[in-house]
Each structure stands twice: as structure tokens, then as C-alpha cells.
């Protein structure tokens, strides 16, 4: 059998010819063909060139190219909302639950009572016997100077010879922040993502029960010992989620146009990001427009 030898330089030349070329991002161009716009109009964009990926940022809240890497909002308003349900309430137990905030609690449950707690119960609307009572929007801006705080519900009741202790259920607990100046509302934490800790101060027979959907403490029967229990969570008040864009194309397809409809009047900065990600390179080019939707 005759052996065939291929010179090494031919193999190298062939390999170099087969090597995938880098995308020419200089050829990437977006042309907007209709402006200005009215609410409900469809904006049409012609796309030239063929980047590996194209991402579209409409300029609307949550889709702003300038905020794509933002994870901290220095100018924002943190807010708290929740619903409550108090059962078995009476004049004796009118102050059985309190909403508290601490900036110096260290997370050690044994130091709960030695930390400084601000009582903000009067900022919330609490149930007087109806389920699903909305707290209203609770402004936490005065705590924003701290990178993080601890928020707690404290259950405290005395003994009654004739009355059962009340039961409290907290649901739909959400921490949001409104980023300024664009007024985008970001969800920071919800009841199931906070990693609640519980602390029993008095009467371990009745304690907070934590699930992914609610916090609940069922009080004891008449003649039960006085009870004090805490449920506590740490919250960062400056964090926000980065804005995101909409994928227009990927490396396996070619796109020559894109359509988008604005449903609200305003001024928007539109951004198309073309990216080349071949041969271990990661490059991008941005095409931007400023438009007014009337």
C-alpha cells in the first residue's frame, strides 16, 4: 500500500483558510425609517451588516442601555408593602404586633434585644380582623443611608385568663425601590427570598412559622404564658436589577429589519448593540437614536 504524505505547510495553509473570520462590526448599521412617532405607531428599523448578535434597548423603563450594568441606584426610594390578617384581636391585644427596623443589629439572634430598633408600625395599615389587609406603601427612604438594614415583626402578648392569644399572618411581603430620575420600580426581595430568621424570647410553645408564601404565628389558648417572638430579615436598600435588552438575532440567523411599537408618549433613547464573539474575541458596536413619541 502506497503511503501519502501531505506537507505540513499545506495543512497549515488549509487550516488558516478554514478559520472563521472575525465579524466586521464596522458594517453594522441601523436606519430608522419613521420618525417622529405617535402612540401606537410601529417604528421600523433597517439593519445592515451581520453581527453575531444584536440586542435592542427601547429606552423605556427597565430597558435603558445606560443602565445595563447598574446594580446600585444611588438615588432611589426603597418601599415596603405587605398584607396582614389578625385573628382573635381585642383591646388587650391591640398592640400585639410591631414592625421594626434596625441598622445596627448584627444578625446574631441572641443580640436582638440589645440592638437599636426603630418602630415604624404607624407607617403601616394593619388588619383589624379582615384577611388580606394591605399595608399601603411604606416609605423606607430614611434608612437608605445604610447599605442594608434588618426588618422585623415582633409579636408580644401578655397572659389572659379568658382570651386566647391572637394569630397573625403576613403575606405578600415585598421590598421595592423606585430608581430616580427614571422612576423605574425594581423588586428587591419578596417574602420567599429573604432568608428569615426567628427568635424566641418568651414561651417557645408558640413561634413564628416561615414558608415561601407567608409568616404566621398562632397564639396560645387562654391562660397561656406571655409570649414574645421575632421574625427578622436582612435587606439591601440600594440594590437594583440591571436593565435588559431584547434579543434581535443570534449567530445562526441573519436579520435585516426590526419592528417595535411604543404604547406611551415620551422621549426615548433607542440602542441597538451588535456583538461579534468569534475567535475568542468579544467586541460590540452601538447604534443609537433619540426619538419622541407623541
Predicted confidence at residue 14, as pLDDT, reads: 37
Gap between the Cα atoms of 251 and 270, Å rounded: 22
**Structural fold of domain 22-69+242-293:** Immunoglobulin-like (2.60.40)
> Maximum distance among all alpha carbons in the chain?
106
Predicted confidence at residue 182, as pLDDT, reads: 66
| Backbone φ/ψ region at 223: left (φ over 0), alpha (ψ -120 to 50), beta | left
Predicted confidence at residue 197, as pLDDT, reads: 95
What is the CB neighbour count within 10 angstroms for residue 159?
A: 15
Gap between the Cα atoms of 215 and 207, Å rounded: 10
> How much is the pTM?
0.66
pLDDT in tens, the chain (294 residues): 444 444 433 333 334 443 444 567 878 999 998 777 899 998 999 999 999 999 999 999 889 999 898 877 767 788 999 999 999 998 878 889 999 999 999 888 888 989 999 999 999 999 999 999 999 999 999 998 888 899 999 999 998 889 999 999 999 999 988 876 667 777 778 899 899 999 999 988 899 999 999 999 998 899 899 999 999 999 888 777 788 999 999 999 999 999 999 999 999 999 999 998 766 667 889 999 999 999
Predicted confidence at residue 281, as pLDDT, reads: 62
CA distances, 92 to each of 154, 158, 214 (Å): 16, 8, 25
| Backbone φ/ψ region at 172: left (φ over 0), alpha (ψ -120 to 50), beta | left
Environment class of 81 (CB within 10 Å of its CB; exposed 0-12, middle 13-18, buried 19+): middle
Half-sphere exposure of 117 (CA within 13 A, CB side): 20
How distant is the alpha carbon of residue 59 from its chain centre?
19
* Domain range summary for the chain, segments of one domain joined by +: 22-69+242-293, 76-236
Contact 49, 25 (CB under 8 A): yes
- Going by C-alpha positions, the residue among 185, 187, 186, 183 that lies closest to residue 266 is 183
Amino acid at each position: 500500500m502506497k503511503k501519502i504524505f501531505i506537507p505540513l505547510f499545506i495543512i497549515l495553509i488549509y487550516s488558516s483558510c478554514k478559520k472563521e473570520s472575525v465579524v466586521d462590526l464596522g458594517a453594522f448599521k441601523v436606519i430608522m425609517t419613521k420618525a417622529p412617532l405617535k402612540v401606537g405607531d410601529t417604528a421600523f428599523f433597517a439593519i445592515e451588516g451581520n453581527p453575531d448578535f444584536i440586542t435592542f434597548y427601547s429606552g423605556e423603563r427597565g430597558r435603558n442601555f445606560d443602565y445595563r450594568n447598574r446594580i446600585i441606584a444611588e438615588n432611589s426610594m426603597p418601599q415596603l408593602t405587605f398584607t396582614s390578617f389578625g385573628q382573635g384581636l381585642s383591646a388587650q391585644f391591640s398592640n400585639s404586633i410591631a414592625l421594626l427596623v434596625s441598622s445596627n443589629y448584627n444578625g446574631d439572634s441572641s443580640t436582638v434585644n440589645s440592638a437599636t430598633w426603630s418602630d415604624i408600625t404607624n407607617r403601616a395599615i394593619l388588619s383589624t380582623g379582615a384577611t388580606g389587609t394591605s399595608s399601603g406603601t411604606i416609605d423606607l427612604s430614611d434608612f437608605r443611608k445604610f447599605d442594608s438594614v434588618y426588618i422585623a415583626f415582633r409579636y408580644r402578648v401578655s397572659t389572659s385568663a379568658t382570651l386566647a392569644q391572637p394569630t397573625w399572618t403576613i403575606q405578600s411581603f415585598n421590598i421595592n425601590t423606585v430608581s430616580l430620575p427614571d422612576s423605574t420600580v425594581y423588586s428587591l426581595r419578596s417574602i420567599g427570598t429573604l432568608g428569615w430568621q426567628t427568635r424566641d424570647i418568651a414561651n417557645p410553645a408558640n413561634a413564628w412559622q416561615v414558608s415561601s408564601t407567608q409568616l404566621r404565628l398562632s397564639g396560645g389558648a387562654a391562660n397561656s404564658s406571655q409570649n414574645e417572638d421575632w421574625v427578622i430579615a436582612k435587606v439591601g436598600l440600594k440594590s437594583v436589577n440591571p436593565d435588559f435588552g431584547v434579543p434581535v438575532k443570534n449567530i445562526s440567523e441573519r436579520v435585516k429589519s426590526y419592528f417595535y411599537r411604543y404604547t406611551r408618549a415620551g422621549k426615548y433613547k433607542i440602542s441597538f448593540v451588535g456583538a461579534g464573539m468569534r475567535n475568542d474575541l468579544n467586541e460590540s458596536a452601538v447604534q443609537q437614536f433619540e426619538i419622541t413619541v407623541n
